Amino acid sequence: MTADRLDGRALNRALLDRQLLLRRHDMTAVEAVEHLVGMQSQAPNPPHVGLWSRLEGFGFDDLAAPMTDRRVLRIVLMRGTLHLVSARDALMLRPLIEVVLDGHLRSPRAAGLAALDLPAAVAYARKILEDEPRSDKELRAALGERWPDADAALLVWAVRLSLPLVQVPPRGIWGASGVARHTTLETWLHGHDVPEPSVEEMVLRYLGAFGPATVQDVQQWSGLTRLGEVVERLLPRLRVFRDEDGRALYDLPDAPRPGPDAPAPVRFVPDFDNLLLSHADRSRIISAEHRRRVFTVNGIIRATYLVDGFVHGIWKIEKERGEVTLRISPFAPVPGRERDALAEEGARLLSAAYPDAKARRVEFERPG
């Protein structure tokens, strides 16, 4: 194997291509979600924007049917965060990520559970959640009634770490409202073929969606550790590159790697998108200075937009009296051509997301 060197722009273009952001693709929402190995979904709406920016002709109601018929679902997976994934990936990935969630149960927060028979509480929670999907409030009340001397909120936290829980529709469907309710993955996908969990397949899938990447990058995305041993086993199936600092980057031999000068259109990236969360070194997509403005101290990852393939600012949508405004906040002045492209792309986003709005506007804040 030869160790070719890739600079930051080459890594940027490879990432954008794998993330379906160099051009819109003609694939279904389910196919895209599976290609991306899931989309972080801390809030229900961001994946819709993420798919709209990636797919040709995506409609904001296109996730309703696959969520209702259980082809895609929302479940806690990588890094212990809520993800929208295909049914197959939920079944394959959840056993691999279990060790990450088990680690939280050994944290100081779990000390309050020491005097409780946690397996009994988890078994009881499983039964009532499989009888009927329940909200955290309903589960807390049921556990509090059964174990009145225990911290019911802490019990719910432990149950959510111990059981593979699906957040059932209509939560997660565009325009739907209502409290989040959960049931177990086994109940939601009863009768579904269960794939063999494979950490090797998981690493290869990651490289297909985020590579070329270091071992540390794969660990950042998944939350798992000691993946160097897995990559070592996979070496005969990989190609090795080097970044500008000499670090080894692993990739699939035939994966797309556009040149550093490949054109990258402006794109709106939603809050919590894995584009910004899945590498230990994120300089291929966002500078350290801009990262401090996007990643907030309370765990919010703001929605961003890309100019020439890199994060250039943040955006948000404001709704008032049936009118919607897309407010763009640049970190630096936006060149005229890109400003026009952002305004046009923003207008299309508002039309797709809010077709019934009385008025739609795209406004730019002063750079800074």
pLDDT digits (tens, 9 = 90+) for 181-199: 999 999 999 999 999 999 9
> Residue 242: beta bridge partners?
5, 248
Please tell me the predicted confidence (pLDDT) of residue 178: 85
Mean pLDDT of the chain: 95
On the question of pLDDT at 2 being above 50, the answer is no
Write the single-letter amino acid at 39. M
Burial of 311-322, coded b for 16+ CB within 10 Å and e otherwise, reads bbbbbebeeeee
Structure tokens at 308: 């020439």
| pLDDT, tens digit (0-9, with 9 covering 90-100), for 85-133 | 999 999 999 999 999 999 999 999 988 888 889 999 999 999 999 999 9
Please tell me the predicted confidence (pLDDT) of residue 344: 98
On the question of pLDDT at 255 being above 70, the answer is yes
On the question of pLDDT at 211 being above 90, the answer is yes
Write the single-letter amino acid at 266. V
On the question of pLDDT at 334 being above 90, the answer is yes
Please tell me the predicted confidence (pLDDT) of residue 232: 97
As a whole number of angstroms, the distance between CA 364 and CA 334 comes to 10
Please tell me the predicted confidence (pLDDT) of residue 233: 97
Is 169 within 8 Å of 69 (Cβ atoms)? no
Is 187 within 8 Å of 78 (Cβ atoms)? no
Please tell me the predicted confidence (pLDDT) of residue 92: 97
CA-based nearest residue to 339, from 317, 302, 312: 312
On the question of pLDDT at 1 being above 60, the answer is no
Opening angle at CA 99, ends 97 and 100, nearest 5 = 70
Which of 64-68, 264-268, 293-297 shows the lowest per-residue confidence on average (mean pLDDT)? 293-297
Please tell me the predicted confidence (pLDDT) of residue 3: 57
Is 320 within 8 Å of 332 (Cβ atoms)? no
